[in-house]
Amino acid sequence: MLDIVTTVIVLVAVGLGAGTLGSMLGVGGGIIMVPALTFMGLPHAQAAATSLFAVTSTSVSSTVAYSRQNRIDYRRAIQLAMAAVPGAVLGVFISGGISDAEFKLYFGILLMAVGAYVVFKSSILKERGQRKMSVVQHAAVFAITFGAGIISSLFGVGGGTVFVPVMLLIHRMTMRNAAATSQLTLMITSFAGIFTHAAVGNPNYLYAVALSAGAFIGAQLGARWSKNAKETLLRKMLGIVLIMVAITFILEGFGVKL
């Protein structure tokens, strides 16, 4: 068992890395923080709630940085958040009704999908100009982002892995602006999730503060570096790591001891 000082140092470092990558890719850092917390022995509901605190820190820091760069579409962000917030509240209560094994299995599947997305994103998604949306598309976006809100609180990952593709595929935003706008949506959605998690007593506040401190700094670095960084190699490296972690989670979800 790690002593408290070592634990805090490890968590700050995890938050720093997760915040940097999450800010650069617009996906939130929960996809890195939740596995770290789970491997450190936290129950799934506590890991998700604690991660969501740090995701909120990342999104607040990133939103401030990206707003200074004029890269946020505020109207799109608020529209998505209005659909995602009810889902975020619902996700907290769903998290209390599944076992640790089920959580690992479902989260592993989510990580596998996210890993594939970040690896193959450039060939799947095209950056295009914005266009008007049909009623059907509006309904689809509402349903998808409501689901993203559930995922946000259930797994503690923020929902950016859904928000960014929606902005690219349906709203036809550029990748640079989608990543920035996603952070504002994440901020609003994550606040709803952490308040609900706190109300039912899920978070580990010491871990949350340590992660959040690192994530806040990392988000500033990520927003700054994203202006000039070449994403392709970084995305593929992150995707490969996520897929490896996903395989571990899925096997443990099926009861295979590693």
| pLDDT over 70 (residue 114) | yes
Q: How is the chain split among helix, strand and coil, in percent rounded to 5?
A: 80, 0, 20
Specify whether the CB–CB gap between 233 and 119 falls below 8 A.
no
The string of DSSP letters for 54-89 reads HHHHHHHHHHHHHHHTT---HHHHHHHHHHHHHHHH
Ordered by start, the domain boundaries in the chain are 4-253
DSSP secondary structure letter of residue 23: H
Residues 180-213: pLDDT tens digits?
A: 898 899 899 988 888 888 888 778 999 999 999 9
The pLDDT of residue 39: 87
d(CA 157, CA 221): 20
pTM of the model as a whole: 0.77
Task: Return the structure tokens found at 79.
Answer: 């529209």
